[in-house]
Structure 1
Amino acid sequence: MILGKCPFCGGNVLSQKITARGQKINLYHCEHAIKERDVNDDYVFSATSMCRFQVYSNALLRWNKRSLSELEMKTLLQEGQIVVRLHGKKGTREYFKYVVADPEYGVSILWDSEVA
């Protein structure tokens, strides 16, 4: 399924269901971000890959955000940022932060910006 245009190269961003470490998640990736297996049986970007934009739906799990939905990814691609609800380690503290596309990590949290 096509979600929108890549913020870095203009290619289509696709949604793909995958299983990683026994967990079913979505992978949102640019059509120009091509991966292949290397000699160690790991997936790496190929030499012909023109873009590296990819986001795993559980990328914000560290801050107790279980998943980035397809709707959130569409909004991120259209508007350039989204607001997400994050939680502290114990799950008691709740706070809202902006998330933007990042060429190296896929998405980044803007920790210094306050959500109004």
Structure 2
Amino acid sequence: MILGECPYCKGVVSSKNITAQGKKIKLYSCENAKKEYDESEQYVFTTDSSCRFRVYSNAFLRWNKRSFSEREMKKLLQDGQTVVRLHGRKGTGEYFKYVITDEEYGVSVLWEEEVEDKDTF
């Protein structure tokens, strides 16, 4: 499924289902961010990759958010940011934070910024 335009190379960002560490997740990646296994069994970018934009749907698992949805990714690509709902360590207490694209990690949480209008979430 096509989600939008890559913020770095203007390529097409699409969604595909993959299995990582035995769990089914979605991978949102730019068409120009190609990876393959090399001879040492490392998963590396190919020589013809011209972009590195890739985001796994479980990117926020450490903050008890099970999945970063296709809808959230579309909004991120369209607006340059989106709001996500995260949870405390024990699953109690929720808080909302802005997420932006990050060239190195795919996405980054803006911890210093407070989300004023949670109704748009």
Percent of matched pairs sharing the same residue: 67
Give me the CA root mean square deviation. 0.7
Post-superposition offset of 1:17: 0.3
1:1-116 alignment to 2 at 5 Å? 1-116=1-116
Q: Name segments (4+ residues, structure 1) moved above 3 Å.
A: none
CA distance in 2: counterparts of 1:77 and 1:56, whole angstroms: 15
- Report the Cα distance in structure 2 between the residues aligned to 1:71 and 1:17, rounded to whole angstroms: 15
What displacement does 1:105 show? Answer: 0.2
SS at the partner of 1:19? strand
Give, as a single letter, the amino acid of the residue that structure 1 aligns with 2:79: E
2: CA distance, partners of 1:46 / 1:77: 24
TM-score by length of 1: 0.97
Aligned length: 116
In 2, Cα distance between the equivalents of 1:88 and 1:47? 41
What SS class does the counterpart of residue 115 from structure 2 fall into? coil
User: Please, which runs of 5 or more residues in structure 1 have no aligned partner?
Assistant: none
**Alpha-carbon distance between aligned partners in 1 of 2:75 and 2:64, rounded to the nearest angstrom:** 21
Distance 1:62 1:50 in 2: 30
TM-score, normalised via structure 2 length: 0.93
Q: Matched residues in 1 for 2:25 and 2:42: separation?
A: 18
